[in-house]
Amino acid sequence: MHECLPIRWRAWRLWRLDGEEALARRALSGAADGRLVAWLYLRCLAGIYLAAFWSLAVQIDALAGSQGVYPLAEQLDWAVGQYGVWRFVAYPSVFWVASGDWALTATAWAGCVLSLLLVAAGWIGCRADGGAGPSRAGSCLSGRAGPRVWRPWRQPW
């Protein structure tokens, strides 16, 4: 396409593309479908979750533990007396299974671990050449801007 343009126009086009516009085009070329924004949004959201769960992990015993300000075991006992069999519907909680101090602390630290995995999910399984690992299940940053996302419905089987 450039060959049919006069030399002067080709030179102007090359000069123009060498500046800031070329950087902007390269940066936005992979973001046309929103993958870069989605990748960044998920990592930022995971960072927020990490901060929230970390804060909860260091405070949960003092807030809802057995000797805390508002013990969870007492709340669950109240729900049993108030709602009876319908307590699971009226007071939904994962702590019906176990509501001890260890369960509260383990849940908060599990949230920290899962949010760290979501932050690192963009780099897990990446090879040096930018491709995905053996399972091709990870999303990796390739040479172009934006992540390389594995979509099984688009794979040639």
Residues 71 and 81 placed together within one structural domain of the fold: yes
Residues 40 and 115 placed together within one structural domain of the fold: yes
Residues 42 and 78 placed together within one structural domain of the fold: yes
Lowest mean pLDDT among 59-73, 91-105, 125-139: 125-139
Residues 74 and 127 placed together within one structural domain of the fold: no
CA 76 – CA 78 distance, rounded (Å): 5
Domain of 147, in residue numbers: 122-157
Q: Taking residues 18-40, what's their average pLDDT?
A: 63
Write the CA distances from 59 to 13, 16, 53, 54, 116, integer angstroms: 60, 56, 10, 9, 19
- What is the pLDDT of the chain when averaged over all its residues? 74
Q: Per-residue pLDDT tens for 140-153?
A: 444 444 455 555 55
Residues 71 and 113 placed together within one structural domain of the fold: yes
